Homo-oligomer: A and B are copies of this chain.
Amino acid sequence: MNPHKIRLEARAGVLKALAHPTRLFLVEALADTPHCVSDLTKMVGADTSTVSKHLSILKNAGLIQDEKQGKQVFYRLRIPCALNFLDCVEAVLREQARERMAVVG
């Protein structure tokens, strides 16, 4: 397959991993401190299996990493720049707001 296309798909894969409200929440939560799955589950307020799967997606994308401690699995953020990242997303949101203003007048 086209190597350029492979690269695009790899990049898109990383972004896809981030492109979910719960997963963004998890990334932000893990930016401060590592947390175990049950803690994160309480914070998120969804089924444990759901949270576990979201964590798995982030992990496979290379964004977070896990470490087993006894019965628990602690996850931590692996890519600090994923946060700057979100600053840019904020800039986009401001543009969206600007756009809406323009439409209204």
A residues near B (Cβ < 8 Å) are 5, 8-12, 14-16, 18-25, 61-63, 78-79, 81-82, 84-93, 95-96, 99
Query: Are B61 and A79 in touch, CB under 8 angstroms?
Result: no
Main secondary structure of the interface of A (DSSP, over half): helix
Copies in the complex: 2
Sample 24 A-B pairs with CB under 8 A, ordered by A number: A5-B21, A8-B22, A8-B25, A9-B21, A10-B96, A12-B20, A14-B89, A14-B93, A15-B18, A16-B16, A16-B19, A16-B20, A19-B19, A62-B92, A62-B96, A63-B92, A78-B95, A79-B88, A79-B91, A81-B87, A81-B91, A82-B88, A84-B88, A85-B88
Q: Most B CB atoms within 10 A — which of A22, A88, A93, A99?
A: A88
